[in-house]
């Protein structure tokens, strides 16, 4: 083999290795972003279940304006960081409103997680309506 052939083979091999390392880095980044989103979705569902388990008359007092942390099962500490400027420093927030103006009969529960993730600010939100007729009270 000539020196030129060895240099061309080295360039091709180096390009292939760099390409594979970029694929690996991108895959790891997407996996971590997926874990963030899964943690946020799990936290939203858990908070909605907690609201549903609360006596209807106590929902506003116990849950309105309450922030919450997002954790990963089996891990200590917060899984997600709140966005800059968040007043309570927690990525989750529950807001309870009365869409008809009468909180004794119908409530709208908005559970939202807003966090600063790998791809900038992210958000997951679920809205649920509960009536006093269908509540667990």
Q: What is the rounded average pLDDT of the residues 23-35? A: 91
Answer yes or no: is pLDDT of 85 > 80. yes
**Which residue's entry shows tokens 């420093």?**
89
Per the structure, the complete domain to which residue 62 belongs is given by 3-131
Residue 133: exposed, middle, or buried by beta-carbon count in 10 A (0-12, 13-18, 19+)?
A: exposed
Answer yes or no: is pLDDT of 1 > 90. no
Question: Does residue 89 belong to any structural domain of this protein?
Answer: yes
Question: Does residue 136 belong to any structural domain of this protein?
Answer: no
Q: How far is it, in rounded angstroms, from Cα 73 to Cα 33?
A: 16
Question: Does residue 63 belong to any structural domain of this protein?
Answer: yes
pLDDT per residue over 46-81, tens digit each?
999 999 999 999 999 999 999 999 987 777 778 898
Q: How far is it, in rounded angstroms, from Cα 107 to Cα 60?
A: 9
Question: Does residue 137 belong to any structural domain of this protein?
Answer: no
Question: Does residue 44 belong to any structural domain of this protein?
Answer: yes
């Amino acid at each position: 083999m000539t020196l030129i052939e060895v240099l061309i083979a080295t360039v091709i091999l180096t390009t292939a290795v760099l390409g594979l390392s970029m694929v690996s880095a991108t895959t790891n980044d997407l996996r971590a972003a997926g874990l963030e989103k899964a943690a946020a979705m799990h936290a939203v569902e858990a908070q909605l279940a907690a609201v549903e388990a609360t006596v209807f008359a106590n929902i506003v007092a116990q849950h309105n304006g309450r922030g919450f942390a997002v954790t990963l099962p089996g891990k200590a500490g917060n899984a997600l960081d709140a966005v800059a400027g968040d007043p309570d420093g927690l990525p989750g927030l529950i807001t309870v409103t009365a869409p008809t103006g009468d909180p004794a009969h119908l409530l709208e529960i908005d559970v939202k997680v807003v966090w600063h993730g790998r791809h900038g600010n992210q958000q997951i939100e679920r809205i649920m309506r509960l009536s006093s007729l269908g509540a667990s009270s």
